[in-house]
Amino acid sequence: MGVPSHGSSGLSSIWIPRSFLLLLLGSSLLTPSVYQPLLDSLYASLRQSSLFTASTFETWWTVIIYAIIEVTYTYRFARNPQLRLANHPNHRTASPKPLPKMRRPKHRMVEGLTYISPLLLLDLTLIKKYAGVPVQDMVSSGNYHLSSVTKTIHGTFLAPTLHNFTLSSPLQTRRALPITPPTSRELALQLVTSLFIYDTLFFAFHLSLHHPKFASIHSQHHNHREINPQITNQLDIFERLGLVLLANFSLNIIGSHVLTRTLFVLIFVWLLVDIHSGMDLKWGYDKILPPGWASGSKRHSMHHRVGNRYYAPFFNWWDDTYEWACRRRFEKDLSNISEST
């Protein structure tokens, strides 16, 4: 997470994580056989774990990862005023701004319950449907008899199926998993593609939330004195469910392996907290990626200040395209006014 960059030393040090990322991505795509023994061993262990096969695993995994990352960022935000964007030269007042009101973990139980409850409800009532899992295994995990439902239950996630509730199986407690692990090439391609799809979908969703008809839903997320890591999950329940469902759709639509989903949560949560960090970090992901690719904390902080720019969460392409289209429309309208006069 680092410290602010200073001069050429900051620019050169960013090549450490950048080179590591390039090496990892390149070797994953070009030499998947190098990683296959590790993936085979890891996935075999996970498939034997009752925690990993539980239907609620992804919900609890997300909560744990979020708690670790957000608390880490919040600690740095509170202890390092020089990192805060609000204290940078273009925002600086006579003295550093005081910390915004921060909530302690013990005071955030309601927030946690609000997030977890609807997801656990879905986990415990719907059959999990993952790519690479035979329909028979899905049916069996949902407490159905194979002979009676194989023609009526489909393996696609687009056709949700309720658990067969009985006294002996009152809830959907386990999930059927693929037998074999993915290759490192599949993992890398699925992770990158799903993040791009999510960025596209959330750009459109976020833009709609800034329409006056839906402004009341999104206003809770913008209700703060200074953006900070805790704002990441300061969401209306509708917006929070939309975020989760769009992430799931982005993974499911390309048939992502369940192991991809597990890694996706780690990267996804880190990116969400990073853009809401309110800090200029030396190794922020927007600095690791090539210049102009990623939005990062600075752009998202500006979105929270002005509210009418920079709607995409992670990357710049949709925002840049949208602003180009708005400029073209403005110039065209201006030209039409000039011609009419």
Mean pLDDT of 305-320: 94
Neighbours of 216 (CB within 10 A): 10
d(C-alpha 194, C-alpha 249), whole Å: 9
Closest CA to 238 of 118, 77, 66: 118
- Given a cut of 50, is residue 3 above it in pLDDT? no
Name beta bridge partners: 126: 162
d(C-alpha 291, C-alpha 287), whole Å: 7
* Mean pLDDT estimate for the chain: 90
- Given a cut of 70, is residue 8 above it in pLDDT? no
pLDDT digits (tens, 9 = 90+) for 186-207: 999 999 999 999 999 999 999 9
Q: Using an 8 Å Cβ cutoff, are 294 and 275 in contact?
A: no
Q: Using an 8 Å Cβ cutoff, are 247 and 195 in contact?
A: no
pLDDT of residue 2: 45
| Cα-based angle 197, 286, 262 (whole degrees, multiple of 5) | 50
Q: Give the confidence band of 114 by pLDDT, cuts at 50, 70, 90.
A: confident
d(C-alpha 268, C-alpha 198), whole Å: 10
Name beta bridge partners: 84: 279
- The whole model's pTM is what? 0.90
Name beta bridge partners: 315: 294
The three-class DSSP label of residue 174 is strand
pLDDT digits (tens, 9 = 90+) for 226-282: 999 999 999 998 999 999 999 999 999 999 999 999 999 999 999 999 999 999 999
Q: Give the confidence band of 5 by pLDDT, cuts at 50, 70, 90.
A: very low
Handedness of CA 139, 145, 149, 150 (dihedral sign): positive
pLDDT digits (tens, 9 = 90+) for 50-68: 999 999 999 999 999 999 9
Run of H or E residues at 299:
helix 296-306
The percentage of residues in the chain with a pLDDT greater than 70, rounded to a whole number, is: 89
Q: Give the confidence band of 99 by pLDDT, cuts at 50, 70, 90.
A: confident
The three-class DSSP label of residue 267 is helix
For every residue of 5-35, DSSP letters joined together read --HHHHHHHTHHHHHHHHHHHHHHHH-HHHH
173 versus 93: the higher-pLDDT residue is 173
SS3 content of the chain, % helix, strand, coil (to 5): 60, 0, 35
Residue linked to tokens 């929070």: 240
- Given a cut of 90, is residue 69 above it in pLDDT? yes
The three-class DSSP label of residue 279 is strand
pLDDT of residue 12: 67
Q: Give the confidence band of 155 by pLDDT, cuts at 50, 70, 90.
A: confident
Neighbours of 231 (CB within 10 A): 22
d(C-alpha 109, C-alpha 131), whole Å: 34
Handedness of CA 267, 269, 271, 277 (dihedral sign): negative
Tokens of 98: 């005081």
Q: Give the confidence band of 291 by pLDDT, cuts at 50, 70, 90.
A: very high
